[in-house]
Amino acid sequence: MPFSARKRTQYIQQLQAEPFDLLVVGGGITGAGIALDAITRGLKVCLIEKSDFASGTSSRSTKLIHGGLRYLKQLEFGIVREVGQERAILYKNAPHIVIPERMLLPIVEGGSLGKYSTSLGLYVYDRLAGVEKEERRNMLSKEATLEKEPLLNTEILKGGGMYVEYRSDDARLTIEVLKSAVERGALCINYVEFSSFLLDANNKINGAVAKDVFTGETIKIAAKKIINACGPWVDDLRKTDNSLKKKRLHLTKGIHIVIKKERLPLKQAVYFDVKDGRMIFAIPRGKKVYIGTTDTNYKDDTNFPFATKQDVQYTLDAANNMFPSANLIMDDVESTWSGLRPLIHEDGKSPSDLSRKDEIFISDSGLISIAGGKLTGFRKMAERSVNVVCKQLKIEEQREFNKCSTEHIKLSGGNLDKSPADYARDLQDDFKQFYVDDVLNLVLKYGSNTQYILAAAQTNFKDDLLLAEAEYCLENEMTNNLSDFIIRRSGRLYFERPTISNTMQLLDDYYNQQLNYTAELISSNHQLFDKEYHDVVAFRN
Ligand SMILES: Cc1cc2nc3c(=O)[nH]c(=O)nc-3n(C[C@H](O)[C@H](O)[C@H](O)COP(=O)(O)OP(=O)(O)OC[C@H]3O[C@@H](n4cnc5c(N)ncnc54)[C@H](O)[C@@H]3O)c2cc1C
């Protein structure tokens, strides 16, 4: 099945015409993972997302596929083991967007970890998470630590430890999972908002009413089971279902800032102490470095969280304490993003102490809600949720249906038989008119699908890579407008904000013309873009 924004009307008709085994509400990483798992078990699946795919928390994380080091501190050994295994599986299945990144852990005066506890902690972590031999921890003297990262604060530095995290792109991971589900027959549509449940005579859920956000049209979806994978909005659906009882969500906000690499020319990624006892990351990415995150209680608008001046100052202060020669100031910050963690409330616990464990709630009406968890653990969360569906549909006895097999599925774009850099070099041999760096940039987003973008650029767009990329996303990733492309599909608004202004009009016109939008729809898309753009630079006001 194609995944083209041109076919949206047809998909919406399909959504109403056919009864489904499973409707997934929410197109973040959790919902995407569930759709893929369910379709591969033989269920008839659809997924609706009220805005763009990954527009919630799944485009606003630290973008790491963790091995779970942080859980070691909370003594959550089970999670360390699980996410360590998941990381290895994801690396195998999506090598274009899961890239090993050596991380330096400086040991500092007054820091949360000493030399011996760090060494022991990393040792235990390596074993629990099943870390490959060549990626296991390496402890460093003060001099060796400074060699790795000369910008560290020599006055407080005592030594360091090296371990490996995996860098990713959360929104791209979500879209690759969705594409893999759609390739297998799942029907996934963005800008369709859940409104209410349909109930049978026994008050059991058997469908939902939703709204096409672009047309305002009401849509009725017949589904035997519904999974609520709405991340920070999980409790909204539980309220509609009257099932918001004892357990509820506790939202905490985390922000990141992006600065030019020239202003903080890190040689490598660093996970460092903040004076308040927390730890944050500074991660080089292309010509930029991003730093974060914060962790504060959040009770405001879930749709548009943004970084306040105070959040940005906290992050700058933390960075200046660890890298004092940089003297970073507010004006160095080019863009920010801000996300909400959908954690499960525990009385008396501070934001950073709340468990990141996921949990499934099943209501009297049959609504299955999944909350908590991490980007990294999405596959196992999906497996657990779909197990519940199979059990309820009583198909667990039919063995060929109910086994989870996503461990063995290469995600869309993941068919690289070599490193992304080698793959890009090989591809450029066939398309010599393009620079290898530009090809690599595409490979790190679209993986083995990059070949289609290059071929289209050559044949239809007079070698214009940007338009060929925009078209690929429209036709294959249900990209409807400038916001979808520039924020979630390509990450340009976060990482290239000062230099993209001259291409925005071109891209906006491209989507509006190709999709034949009415003046009214163009205007509402512009309002959405203005809002999203505002949140990226809001701290300046
Ligand atoms: C600051 C921060 C840093 C993080 N860093 C990491 C990290 O480095 N590594 C890691 O593994 N994890 C990380 N996480 C956690 C991870 O990002 C989240 O656990 C994960 O993205 C949650 O995904 P989700 O699909 O459950 O929620 P979301 O991505 O929020 O998806 C829920 C979706 O439901 C949709 N929705 C809501 N209501 C409706 C409705 N009525 N109808 C239709 N759709 C609806 C929303 O629009 C949204 O797209 C981080 C989280 C934060 C906040």
**CATH number where 464 lies:** 1.10.8.870
**Same domain? 377 vs 521:** no
Asked, for residue 126, whether it belongs to a domain, the answer is yes
- pLDDT at 127 (0 to 100): 82
CB of residue 234 inside a 6 A radius of ligand 1:
no
Three state DSSP letters for 85-122: HHHHHHHHHCCCCCEEEEEEEEEECCCCCCHHHHHHHH
CB of residue 64 inside a 6 A radius of ligand 1:
yes
Dist. CA 52–CA 337, nearest whole Å: 16
Residue 131, domain CATH: 3.30.9.10
**Same domain? 300 vs 261:** yes
Q: Is residue 119 a contact partner of residue 74, using CB atoms and an 8 Å limit?
A: no
Dist. CA 271–CA 280, nearest whole Å: 6
The arithmetic mean of pLDDT across residues 78-85, rounded, is 83
**Same domain? 16 vs 105:** no
The arithmetic mean of pLDDT across residues 384-397, rounded, is 87
The pLDDT tens digits for 214-238 are: 999 999 999 999 999 999 999 999 9
- pLDDT at 497 (0 to 100): 92
CA 539 to chain centroid, in Å, comes to 23
**Same domain? 161 vs 302:** yes
CB of residue 290 inside a 6 A radius of ligand 1:
no
CA of 516 to the centre of ligand 1 (A): 31
The pLDDT tens digits for 148-202 are: 999 999 999 999 999 988 999 999 999 999 999 999 999 999 999 999 999 999 9
- pLDDT at 474 (0 to 100): 98
Asked, for residue 66, whether it belongs to a domain, the answer is no
CA of 313 to the centre of ligand 1 (A): 25
Residue 20, domain CATH: 3.50.50.60
Q: Give residue 526's domain range.
A: 420-540
Q: Which of 44-48, 385-389, 401-405, 487-491 has the lowest mean pLDDT?
A: 401-405
The arithmetic mean of pLDDT across residues 364-391, rounded, is 95
Asked, for residue 225, whether it belongs to a domain, the answer is yes
**Same domain? 202 vs 297:** no
Output 395 or 401, whichever has higher pLDDT.
Answer: 395
Going by pLDDT thresholds of 50, 70 and 90, the confidence category of residue 335 is very high
CB of residue 238 inside a 6 A radius of ligand 1:
no
- pLDDT at 398 (0 to 100): 64
Nearest residue CA, atom 39 of ligand 1? 50
* Residue 113: pLDDT over 80: no
- pLDDT at 116 (0 to 100): 83
Asked, for residue 513, whether it belongs to a domain, the answer is yes
The arithmetic mean of pLDDT across residues 4-22, rounded, is 97
**Same domain? 369 vs 439:** no
Q: What domain count does the chain have?
A: 3
**Same domain? 31 vs 140:** no
**Same domain? 433 vs 524:** yes
- pLDDT at 400 (0 to 100): 61
Q: What is the pTM of this model?
A: 0.97
CB of residue 66 inside a 6 A radius of ligand 1:
yes
Average pLDDT score, the chain: 93
Going by pLDDT thresholds of 50, 70 and 90, the confidence category of residue 56 is very high
Encoded tokens for 99: 């890239």
- pLDDT at 457 (0 to 100): 98
CA-CA-CA-CA torsion sign (141, 143, 146, 148): negative
Asked, for residue 218, whether it belongs to a domain, the answer is yes
Going by pLDDT thresholds of 50, 70 and 90, the confidence category of residue 455 is very high
Asked, for residue 74, whether it belongs to a domain, the answer is no
Going by pLDDT thresholds of 50, 70 and 90, the confidence category of residue 125 is confident
Q: Is residue 315 a contact partner of residue 219, using CB atoms and an 8 Å limit?
A: no
**Contacts with 248 (C-beta within 8 Å, 6 or more apart), sequence order:** 235, 238, 344, 345
Neighbours of 184 (CB within 10 A): 15
- pLDDT at 514 (0 to 100): 98
The pLDDT tens digits for 249-279 are: 999 999 999 999 999 999 999 999 999 989 9
* Residue 1: pLDDT over 70: no
Dist. CA 103–CA 283, nearest whole Å: 9
CA of 305 to the centre of ligand 1 (A): 13
Asked, for residue 474, whether it belongs to a domain, the answer is yes
CB of residue 281 inside a 6 A radius of ligand 1:
no
> How many angstroms separate the first and last alpha carbons of the chain?
45
CA-CA-CA-CA torsion sign (509, 334, 54, 86): positive
Phi-psi sector, 463: left (phi>0), alpha (psi -120 to 50), beta: left
Neighbours of 283 (CB within 10 A): 22
CA of 306 to the centre of ligand 1 (A): 15
**Same domain? 433 vs 288:** no
**Contacts with 324 (C-beta within 8 Å, 6 or more apart), sequence order:** 153
Nearest residue CA, atom 17 of ligand 1? 61
CB of residue 193 inside a 6 A radius of ligand 1:
yes
Helices (H), 170-258: 170-183, 234-240
**Same domain? 146 vs 270:** yes
CA of 117 to the centre of ligand 1 (A): 32
The arithmetic mean of pLDDT across residues 419-445, rounded, is 97
**Same domain? 209 vs 346:** no
**Same domain? 244 vs 366:** yes
**DSSP category for residue 258:** E
CA of 534 to the centre of ligand 1 (A): 20
Taking the CA of residue 292 as reference, the ligand 1 atom at the shortest distance is 1
CA of 356 to the centre of ligand 1 (A): 13
CB of residue 56 inside a 6 A radius of ligand 1:
yes
Asked, for residue 46, whether it belongs to a domain, the answer is yes
* Residue 396: pLDDT over 70: no
Q: What is the DSSP string of 454-502?
A: HHHHHHHSTT-HHHHHHHHHHHHS---SHHIIIIIIT-HHHHSGGG-HH
